[in-house]
Amino acid sequence: MAQFVKTDSGKRLTRLITNGYMDNIVKAQQGAFVVWIAIIVPAEIFAGFDNVIYCVPESHSALCAGKGVGVSLCEKAENLGYSMDLCSYARIDMGCHFNQGADSPAGGLPKPDLLVSNNNNCTLLAKWFDVYHREWDIPHFILDIPFCYESQKQRDMEYIVSQFQDLIQTVEKLSGQKFNPEKMAQAWENSVEANKHWRRFLAAAKNKPSGITAFDSFVQMAPTLTMRGTPELAEHYRFLADETEARVDQGIVPAPNEKYRLLWDNIAPWHQLRKMSSRLGALDANIISASYTYCLGSREGSLDLLDLESLSPLEGMARLQNFSICPHGLQLRGRAMKQAIEEMDIDGVVFASNRSCKVYSLMQMDQQRYVQEELGVPTVMIDVDHADERKYSEETAFVRMEALLESIDEARR
Amino acid sequence: MFFAGVDIGSTSTECVILDESGEIIAADMRPTGANSAKAAQAVLDSAIEKAGLDAPPHRIVATGYGRVSAPFAHKVVTEITCHARGVLHLFPQVRTIVDVGGQDSKVIRIGPKGNVIDFVMNDKCSAGSGRFLEVMARALEVELDDLGPLSEKSAEEISISSMCTVFAESEVISLVARAVPVEDIINGIHKSIVNRLASQMQRMNPEPDIVMTGGVAKNSGMVKKLSQAAGHVVLVPENPRMTGALGAALTAMGLDRE
């Protein structure tokens, strides 16, 4: 049976996140220039300005879903006429911010002065931010990031860097503030440092039994999105990795009788974290890792960290624009999954077909066939939605996952 | 020593009791209704009575959607594993199972020892399940058991295009209004479900023998159409609703060896 104890890093995380949201509200009230960004936008750029803050609607929507207000906020957006088929992050965000921050556990995000999105990680995000662009008459800067079927090409990196330079000029012009590249470089160093500790934390999954659950890593991802570039982020991940390694050394693990080591493919089911991990824990199953959490800073088609230290800050940030799974083609995804399965000795893969994220889910059937037929690892496909609980059925998901565990048992006989 | 399997499904709950040699000594079923725990207890009690036992079976395994609501169970196992075990016991040569229950449909590939090699279940919605047929039978004012024989009298092929149960019901009502013969409508409904099942089946690279289980396997029209789609005769157990409970009872027999 799994043990769920709030760790010191868990308590620390709650404080960090709460303070982060509160700080943004206070700074915005005091006149800071507010940018809303897609998760992939390099937030370190904003650290190059004296008084520019950034907010991450996707992360805020995940927080809302995790705190149980996802459905009520989705319904608020649907009441305004937005289709139920749109991404639940977008619906939560619009339901919240077209209702003055209604239901948000963080009190909503301060209204933006600039919107910055990109077009390779999410098929819907540019349109979602365009809604605010039209409704609130706020400029919208879209980064054009090429898709990625192999490692990033030099000319793509240069193309992206040139757009970052445009973005810097745009913020200078709109905010009236002067950009300081030294401050951005310092923020970049903090991010690179944070990423190293994050990897150390994720590596605890290689232990047998695993030192973490993927659910821990889903939750601990939040500050990567909302506090990128800060020394506090690097410090938090150092603390998290040290604490996790110490717990593993002492034999304190989430599923001591671990019988099944599973890999999760897709965004976290934010509304089910505790429920799903507890119910799996009772079956001595642990989802120890996820393609979602490993994607931060990985070389395309692998779990290995990119070499970012040899690059200038802007080049490094450009290199990271292909970091997530979504812009990757089938072969890159397959290669990274193979490595995850081998390095973490995975017994089975749970493919979560996510109604709100077509770009993540689209290739899963091919990916599933590859894992099952080529790698000989049992898999299962379940239907989820990352933030809209109405599109998830616990029993139908669990009958599939339990059948996966039974087929792992049979294969062992 | 006796062993019981209880399959608590979305529509009905079944119980099978086996003796030490694996012979079925009693079987019973009843609608699951609103209280699955109560239905599970009741069907177990009546099967015990039918079997003439004066104590509960030595080991009990629960399966089906309500498997967690059976406090008397020594173990819970999914219906996927139980169907595989139950069917293999009845038809040792079977390699592919098509199970259509009240709220879902699944295709299971099994190995020679009854191990589940792979399975696929309906996703996104439950159209094409037993409930779909119940709704259509009600719309046509026909008994569920009559759907099969009636469909075999159909003279003309028509199509029901909607996959959604509610929309398909509207489509059926409009066909009734246009005086399309009921036999043809039923045949069209069967065709639409079988088409969906056939694509599920193709994804599994089905190998013969193919067996159909679940309540819908009692519908001869469906079985005939599925045989045509599969290109093989689809076999049906004598009591296709009981295979899950039988598999659970067989699993119970093996529990002490685990």
Q: Whole-angstrom Cα distance, residue B250 to residue B112?
A: 16
- β-partners of residue A382 are A352
Q: Tell me phi and psi for residue A323, to 5 degrees.
A: -70, -30
Structure confidence at residue A4 (pLDDT)? 53
Residue A114: both structure tokens together: 């600039």
A399, A408, A413: best to mutate for the B interface, most B CBs within 10 A: A399
Q: In A213-332, at which residue ranges do the beta strands (DSSP E only) sit?
A: 260-265, 285-290
What is the number of other CB atoms lying within 10 angstroms of the CB of residue A131? 19
* pLDDT tens digit sequence for B67-124: 988 999 999 999 999 999 999 999 999 999 999 988 889 999 998 887 888 899 887 7
| A112 C-beta neighbours (distance < 10 Å), count | 25
Candidates A353, A411, A413; nearest CB to B123: A353
Q: What is the pLDDT along chain A (413 residues), one digit of tens a residue?
A: 444 567 999 999 999 999 999 999 999 999 999 999 999 899 999 999 999 999 999 999 999 999 999 999 999 999 999 999 999 999 999 999 999 998 999 999 999 999 999 998 888 999 999 999 999 999 999 999 988 888 889 999 999 999 999 999 999 999 999 999 999 999 999 999 999 999 999 999 999 999 999 999 999 999 999 999 999 999 999 999 999 999 999 999 999 999 999 999 999 999 999 999 999 999 999 999 999 987 677 888 888 888 888 899 999 999 988 777 778 888 999 999 999 999 999 999 999 999 999 989 999 999 999 999 999 999 999 999 999 999 999 988 999 999 999 999 988 88
* Angle between helix A70-79 and A88-97 (nearest 10): 70
Q: What is the pLDDT confidence band of residue B168, given thresholds at 50, 70 and 90?
A: confident
> Maximum distance among all alpha carbons in chain A?
69
Residues 6+ apart with CB under 8 A from B52: none
B14 touches chain A (CB under 8 A): no
What ipTM does this complex have?
Answer: 0.83
Average pLDDT score, chain B: 92
| Nearest Cα to Cα of residue A375 among A336, A324, A327 | A336
Type of residue numbered B189? I
- Residue A383, min C-alpha distance to chain B (Å): 7
Q: Which residue of B has its CA nearest to A369?
A: B203
Residue bearing tokens 């909302």: A226
- Beta strands at A379-384 and B24-31: parallel, antiparallel or unpaired: unpaired
Interface of B with A in 107-126 (CB under 8 A): 115-119, 121, 123-124
Residues A101 and A260: their CA atoms lie apart, in Å, by 41
Assess contact for A76 and A99: CB atoms under 8 A: yes
Distance CA A21, CA A9 (A): 18
Quick one: pLDDT at residue A1? 43
Which band of pLDDT confidence, cut at 50, 70 and 90, is reported for residue B217? very high
The 3-state secondary structure of B31-52 reads ECCCCHHHHHHHHHHHHHHHHC
Asked whether B5 and B63 are in contact (CB, 8 A), the reply is yes
Please list every residue in chain A whose beta carbon sits closer than 8 Å to the beta carbon of residue B63. Answer: none
Question: Residue B80 and residue A403: Cβ atoms within 8 Å?
Answer: yes
Q: What integer is the mean pLDDT of B250-256?
A: 93
Distance CA A87, CA A89 (A): 5
3-state class of A235 per DSSP? helix
Enumerate the residues of chain B whose CB falls inside 8 A of the CB of residue A353: 123
Q: Give the torsion sign (CA, A200, A205, A207, A210).
A: positive
* DSSP 8-class letter at B23: -
For B171-184, write each residue's pLDDT tens digit.
999 999 999 999 99
Closest CA to A304 of A277, A330, A342: A342
What's the first-to-final CA gap in chain A, in angstroms? 23
Which of B78, B123, B124 is opposite residue A403, by nearest beta carbon?
Answer: B78
Higher per-residue confidence, B199 vs B251: B251
Write the DSSP string, A319-335.
HGGG-SSTTB-HHHHHH
Q: Which of B78, B115, B117 sits opposite A402 (nearest CB)?
A: B78
Cα distance between the two ends of chain B: 17
Per-residue pLDDT at B80: 94
- The Cα B110–Cα B116 span in angstroms is 5
pTM for the full model?
A: 0.90
Residues in CB range of A361: below 8 A, 6 or more apart:
A266, A352, A353, A354, A355
Chain B residues with CB under 8 Å of A413 CB are 115
pLDDT value for A5: 61
Which residue, among B1, B28, B95, has the nearest Cα to B246 in the 3D structure? Answer: B28
- Residue A232, amino acid: E
DSSP single-letter state for residue A146: -
**Cα-Cα-Cα-Cα dihedral sign, residues A4, A107, A393, A338:** negative
Q: Is B92 exposed, middle or buried (0-12, 13-18, 19+ CB in 10 A)?
A: exposed
Q: How far, CA to CA in Å, does A200 sit from each of A211, A231, A301, B141, B163?
A: 11, 17, 19, 65, 48
- Among residues A305, A302, A304, A268, which one has the least CA distance to residue A287? A268
- Region for B33 from its dihedrals, namely left if φ exceeds 0, alpha if ψ lies in -120 to 50, beta otherwise: left
What pLDDT does residue A2 have?
47
A→B interface, C-beta within 8 Å: 353, 372, 381, 383, 395-396, 399-400, 402-403, 406-407, 410-411, 413
Query: Would the CA dihedral through A346, A337, A85, A35 be positive or negative?
Result: positive
A357/A256 Cα distance (integer angstroms) = 33
A407 contacts in B (CB within 8 Å)?
A: 81, 115-117
Angstrom distance (rounded) from CA A60 to CA A18: 11
Find out whether A390 and A362 touch, Cβ atoms under 8 Å.
Answer: no
Q: How far is B157 from chain A (nearest CA, A)?
A: 33
B33-72 residues touching A, CB cutoff 8 A: 65
**Helix-then-strand count for chain A, H and E:** 17, 8
Identify the pLDDT of residue A386: 97
